[in-house]
Structure 1
């Protein structure tokens, strides 16, 4: 296994001076080291990371993008229509989740695990798979230099257990509300609502607190919980819809929030749990400053926006808006870390989650008659 320090030192020796990306646990070590630098900027999504890196390259600063292969889709547009079209060379480290075998990872990584290499080959992007020794990294960086001289990008694909972790000091306990207590508090108010929970620890926390057929635990597709919730809210106006989001996921595709505000479904409540970090991939920061979610929601067209920091505040506000038309946004500030909840896949396959949720979400003949 290659030390994370060796990876960053190798990039320094080759004069890379700007770094951006969206974290993956396979790249936890380099992210932990890069976060200490002013030259690293966390991006809300992989496409923005790549376009920032391209902007840095246009100033003469060599740039690196680090991302998970599940975010490759976010990269493809700027990769093909920006960096390839304008011949702007970049170096990318992309993890290989779900590779070489889908059984080695969570089910939502299966398709991209099998398809990552094929996608890169289809668009003719040079790439290589990193081995567990330092010489492999050196060889791939040499290949990247060859591609750079032809104004072409190069992707270093990183399998599991290839790059080591880096131990960072534990986060300071500021007695903030825990994720577990926040989810338990809001779950008390969900009632018969159809619920979409975002990928990562939040879905796992909701599963542990209140497993229910009306819960759609979104494993993967980061940033799209609000899209799922909005689509359901617009087509089931007779049902209450709740979206339980995270700050990193909500920021990844803010256009979904803007569209919910524009369409104004009265039956939608959007929760955003904000701890300023990606807990599922190692606690890397999402932003350097706190997002004013309530103000943003009101500006986008939500009927109410509120920030809560304690369990009593959550209960009081949800009781206040229980009978008011939405859409509502409730931002809940929580602390980083906490105990790791059980995986949803320990009890349900993704298809089982979808099937039981769909039975709850599909109107019966009696419901159809009432709606007509």
Structure 2
């Protein structure tokens, strides 16, 4: 293992002064350190945007690198192949190896992409290097030397990072916020719409939902971050007689904001889009999102939603949910929530397989 400080320092010493990425717990240390240095790190909404930002920095004359989770490589492929490779831009990408080499040691959503990661990069002609958990500073320096030779040859190198290869660092404390505990907000929302079909986004939201409001009519997402609203739209359009509640997160929604316009254009009368906004990517270590400068209700209204509201207490959430179910939608309810404390509940797939989640959800929709 190398320390987060050594990771950042070795890259800085080699002239890499600009970074972007999407949070992964493997890179929590470097992201925490870089985020305390203005201008050094851009938190991107998704992996493709992170690579494009780094490509822009490269065009601007800076040496840039990207940090991301291999589960998001699919979001990266288009700008990788049609931008970075096509224009031969010198961008270095660090990718965590979730679900590799043994997918059974990680969460279910990594079962496919974990083993496929090396072969996928090979199929694209992207050179890859490995930073192992037992590697030290000298080995990392050697990896960087090899990657720099790839960059000099106008190729797009990847460094695949094993779990535990990079140490942690303490992020700056977030300012005190008002709001509800996330589990309490979920309980209030589901109590306010007891007959709704529910789509719960990946990460801690799904875990809390399973702990406090499990029901056959709940679809728990494993992975596919950013697509809860789109899944909910598909359910709402095919089951117009049923209220559909999407339990989304601020970081997840920011990944694919275009879904708001798609939903506004389709105008499903039965969709209630609830965003639990705690301003951090909590399941990857608490890295800040950019929701503090974003108004989700205003975005939703501009995209064609019927209404948008911000809530910070139980009374406001219940009132907003009542209004949303009393008038044709789609509606967006943004709930201010607090960072979680204490023990995090287990994921739904500890009790149910993904096919079981699918089957009971479909049975409930047919009732």
- TM, length-normalised to structure 1: 0.95
Query: Is the contact made by 1:201 and 1:279 (CA closer than 8 Å) also made in structure 2?
Result: yes
Using the TM superposition, give the Cα deviation of residue 289 of structure 1 relative to its aligned residue in structure 2, in angstroms.
3.2
Alpha-carbon distance in 1 for matches of 2:253, 2:173: 25
Query: How many residues align structurally?
Result: 363
Q: Which of 289, 292, 297 is equivalent to 1:289?
A: 292
**1:164-219 CA distance string (max 9 Å, x none):** 11133554544532212211211211211111011101111111111111000101
Matches within 5 A, 1:122-137: 122-131=123-132, 132=134, 133-137=136-140
Q: Is 1:324–2:327 an aligned residue pair?
A: yes
Query: 1:89 aligns to what?
Result: 90
Which of 221, 224, 229 is matched with 2:227 structurally? 224
2:350 alignment counterpart: 346
Which has the larger displacement, 25-34 or 316-325?
316-325
Task: State whether residues 233 and 240 of structure 1, in contact with CA within 8 Å, keep that contact through their aligned partners in structure 2.
Answer: yes
Q: Distance between the aligned counterparts of 2:129 and 2:193, measured in 1?
A: 47
Distance of 2:260 and 2:291 partners within structure 1: 21
CA distance in 2, matches of 1:171, 1:327: 32
Contact residue 96 and residue 159 of structure 1 kept, 8 A: yes
Deviates more, 1:290-299 or 1:129-138: 129-138
Match of 2:276 in 1: 273
Contact 1:19 1:65 in 2 (8 A): yes
**Correspondence 1:27 to 2:27:** yes
Of residues 235-244 and 332-341 in structure 1, the stretch that sits farther from structure 2 once superposed is: 332-341
Secondary structure of the residue aligned to 1:322 is helix
Q: Are residues 1:196 and 2:199 paired?
A: yes
Contact 1:171 1:336 (8 Å CA) reproduced: no
Deviation at 1:317, TM superposition (A): 1.7
SS in 2 for 1:334: strand
Shift of 1:17: 1.4
Summarize the alignment of residues 31-110 of structure 1 with structure 2, pairs less than 5 Å apart: 31-38=31-38, 39-110=40-111
- 2:121 matches 1:120: yes
Residue among 185, 197, 201 paired with 1:182: 185
Q: How does 1:296-307 map to 2 (within 5 A)?
A: 296-307=299-310
Aligned position for 1:369? none
On the 8 A contact 2:127/2:157 being kept in 1, the answer is yes
SS in 2 for 1:302: coil
Q: Which residue of 2 aligns with 1:145?
A: 148
TM-score, normalised to structure 2, is 0.96
3-state SS in 2 of match to 1:266: coil
1:297, 1:329 within 8 Å by CA — same for their partners in 2?
yes
Q: Which digits, 9 at most, give the CA deviation of each residue in 1:37-70, with x for residues without a partner?
A: 2221100001001001000001110001000001
Native 8 Å contact 1:100 1:113 kept in 2? yes
Checking the alignment, whether the CA contact within 8 Å between 1:179 and 1:338 is kept in structure 2 is: no
Structure 2: distance between partners of 1:23 and 1:29: 10
> What are structure 2's unaligned runs of at least 5 residues?
none
In structure 2, the residue corresponding to 1:239 is in which secondary structure? coil
Answer yes or no: is the 8 Å Cα contact 1:50–1:65 preserved in 2.
yes
CA–CA distance in structure 2, aligned partners of residues 330 and 264 of structure 1 = 16
- Which structure 1 residue ranges, 4+ long, deviate > 6 Å from structure 2? none
Deviations 1:267-298 (A, max 9, x none): 10000111111000000011173311111111
Tell me how far 1:348 sits from its aligned partner: 1.1
1:313 is matched with 316
